[in-house]
Structure 1
Amino acid sequence: MQLFSWLSQKVVQLSAITLISIGLTLTGYGIYIVSLILFKNYDGYFKFDSDFGMFGQKYGALVIGVSLIIFGIFGILGSTAKKVCFQRGFLILHHLSVLLFGILFVVLFYLLNFKSKEYFGRSCESTQNFKELSDGVKSANESFCSVKCPCNLDATKFKDKSVLRGKVGFSSSVLPSNVQSCVGFDTEQYKYPVQLMNILEMNFSCSGWCTSTSIFVFSDINRGNTSGQSCFLKFQKYYEDYVTIMGFISLGLGILFMLSFSFIFYLYCGKHDLEKQRAQELRLLCK
C-alpha cells in the first residue's frame, strides 16, 4: 500500500515536471515569436480574418506555455501538500490538465505517424489542397520578376547571381519585392498558397512547391539565394527524419499523462484511506 502511494506520488510529480518542461519550452518560443513581431516586423504567419486567430498565432505559444507551467506547479503542490483541502484543490486542476494533454498527445501520435503519411507519403499534387498550392505557385512563378511584373531586384544580395538570369527587375522600392504586390497576380484566388508559401519560405528557406524556384517569390526576394530545395521535398525529408520520432515521443507523453490521470485518483482517496488505517493501528497500539 505504501509502495503504491509512493509510486502514485512520483508518477504525478513526473507528469507535473514534464508539463513544466513543455511549458518552459513553449514560453521561450512564444517570447521569441513576440520579439520577432515587435522588433523585426516578422510576417511569417497566416492572416486570419478573426482577431482571435491572429492573437492565437502571435501569443498562443506564450499563453499555453505559461498555463502549462502553472498546471505543472499545481501537480507538484498537490502531490506534496499535507493538508487534504490544499492537496485536492491543486490536484483537481492538475487532473484536468493531464487528461486533456494525455488525449491530445495520443491524437498527435496518430496524426503524425499515420495521417500525415496520406499527405507526405505521396506526390506533391496528391490532394486537392496540394494541387491548389501547386497551381498557385506556378502562376506566381510566371508572374513575378517577368515583363508582367518587374520586381525590386537587388543583385548584390545574391551570392550566386546565375539564378537571376531571365528575371526582369532592378533595385527600386517602387517595384514589388514579392508576388503578392504584383498588380496582375490574383491574391484572392490563391489566398491559401500565398499565405502558406510565405510562411514556408520565411521559416524553411525553401522555394517552390513541387520543384524549387531560383528566387524567393512569396517572401522578400532580396533575402538572397534559396536553399535550392522545394518546400514539398523539404517537408518530406523533415517527415522522414523527425516526424515519426516526434510521434512516438507524443505517444510516450500521452501514456505518461494518462497514467498520471489514473494515479491521481489514488492520491485523492487511497492516501486518505492509508492515513485512516494508520490512525486506527495507532489507537490499537495505545490501548
Structure 2
Amino acid sequence: MGFCTFIVRFYLIIGFIINCVIGVACFLIASSIKSFNSDFLVVGEYKEAQLVIAIIFYMFGSLLVISTLSAMVGFFFDVRYLQIVFTFLNIIFFLLFLCIFLFTVYADNYVSKELSDQNCTIGPLKVTNDVFDTAQQYWCKNIDVQGQTVGCPCNIQNKSQWSPDDQAILSTYNGISSTGTNSVDSCAIFQQELNGNSDEVQFLKLIEETFECTGICKGDIIYYFSDINRGPTDTTQGCYIQIRDYIFYWLGLCHIYSIVAFSIELASTIFTLINFWIIKKNKQKQNKTQRIYNKDID
C-alpha cells in the first residue's frame, strides 16, 4: 500500500503542476482572443462573442489555478473538504474540456463544409468575394459609363518591382496615372457600390496585409485594399488557401489543447479517487489494528 500511496501522491504533485499550466494556458488563450484582430470576424455576431469568450477563458483559468492550489493544501495537509471540492471541480473541468474537444471536431467539419467551394459561389466568403469583384471592375481603370469616365485611377510609382511579364499585364490597365490613389479607400464610385459591406472591406484589407495576396477565390498582381506600391502580390490565385490554412491552424491548436487538457483532468480525477480509496483502506487498517490492540489490552 505504501508504494501505491507514493505513486498516487507523486502523480498528484505532477498533476497539480500540469493543472496550473493548463490554467495559465487559459489566460494566454483569453489574451489571444481579446487581442485577436476582429476584422477577421466578418460576421457581426462573432465580433460580439469575442469578448465574452475571452472573459470565460479568464474565469476558467482563474478557477483552475485557485482550485489546484487549494487541492494541494487539501491533499498534503489532509483537509478533506478541499479534496472533495477539487474532485468535484475536476470532473466539471474534464467535462468542459471534453465539450471543447467535441466542439473543435464539429468546427473542423463545419469549416471544411463551408469552405468547400474554391470558386466562392456559396459559403461565408461569397459576399466578401463579391466585394472584391466589384473593386476589380473599378480599380486601376477608367471606364466609360454613359458618356462619363468613372473608375479608380491608381498610382504605381515604381513599376520595376514587377517582373517583365507582370509589367506587360500592367500596361493593359488604362487607369495607372501619377494622379491616381494608392488603394480603393479613396475611390468614390467604389464607396458608392459597397452597399454596407464595410466589414468585408476591412477583412480584405487585413488578409492583404497578413498573407500578401488579394481577393478570395481569384486574385491579381496588384493590391487593392492596401498600398499598391508594396509591389506585386505573392500569388495571383487569391487568398482562399491562406485563409483556409489559417483557420485550420487555429482549430488544430484548440484541438490539441483540448485533448491534452481533458486527458489530464480525467487522469487527475481517477488518481484523486484512488487516493480517497487508499486513505479509506488505511483508516480501515488503522481501525482494525486499534481494535486488535484494544482487545489484547482487555
User: Smaller-chain TM-score range?
Assistant: 0.5 to 0.7
- The Cα shift of 1:89 comes to 4.7
Structure 1: which 5+ residue stretches go unaligned? 35-41
| 1:15-72 deviation digits (Å, cap 9, x = unpaired) | 5534434643664x468x48xxxxxxx885457778x936937x966x5665554344
1:284 corresponding residue in structure 2: 288
Distance 1:201 1:5 in 2: 53
Distance 1:74 1:222 in 2: 53
Structure 1 residues 150, 133: CA separation in 2 closer, same or farther (over 3 Å shift)?
A: closer
1:196 corresponding residue in structure 2: 203
2:242 corresponding residue in structure 1: 234
- Match among 50, 53, 65 for residue 56 of structure 1: 50
Q: Show structure 1 runs of 4+ deviating over 6 A.
A: 47-50
Structure 2: which 5+ residue stretches go unaligned? 143-149, 294-298
The letter for the 1-side match of 2:73 is A
1:37 corresponding residue in structure 2: none
Q: Which structure is higher in RCO with an 8 Å CA cutoff and minimum separation 6?
A: 1
Distance 1:88 1:257 in 2: 20
After the TM superposition, which residues 1-287 of structure 1 pair with which residues of structure 2 at under 5 Å, given as runs?
2=4, 5=8, 9=12, 10=14, 14=18, 16-21=20-25, 23-24=27-28, 27=31, 29=32, 33=35, 44-46=39-41, 53=47, 56=50, 66-67=58-59, 69-74=61-66, 76-82=68-74, 83-89=79-85, 95-112=91-108, 114-147=109-142, 148-151=150-153, 153-156=155-158, 159-160=161-162, 162=167, 164-165=170-171, 166=173, 168-170=175-177, 177-185=182-190, 186-188=193-195, 190-191=197-198, 193-228=200-235, 229-235=237-243, 238=245, 243=248, 247=252, 250-251=254-255, 253-263=257-267, 265-266=269-270, 271-286=275-290, 287=293
Distance 1:47 1:121 in 2: 18
| 1:110-135 deviation digits (Å, cap 9, x = unpaired) | 322x3333244443235243443333
- The Cα shift of 1:140 comes to 0.9
Distance 1:74 1:158 in 2: 60
Structure 1 residues 204, 179: CA separation in 2 closer, same or farther (over 3 Å shift)?
A: same
Task: Give yes or no for contact 1:74–1:93 (8 Å, CA) kept in 2.
Answer: no
Tell me the TM-score normalized by structure 2.
Answer: 0.66
Task: Name the Cα RMSD after superposition.
Answer: 4.3
- The Cα shift of 1:143 comes to 1.4
Distance 1:116 1:127 in 2: 13
| 1:132-188 deviation digits (Å, cap 9, x = unpaired) | 33332111111123223335635249722726432625567xx65433442212222
Equivalent pairs, count: 268
The letter for the 2-side match of 1:74 is I
Tell me the TM-score normalized by structure 1.
Answer: 0.68
Distance 1:210 1:153 in 2: 25
Identity of aligned residues (%): 18
Distance 1:203 1:244 in 2: 15
The letter for the 2-side match of 1:208 is G
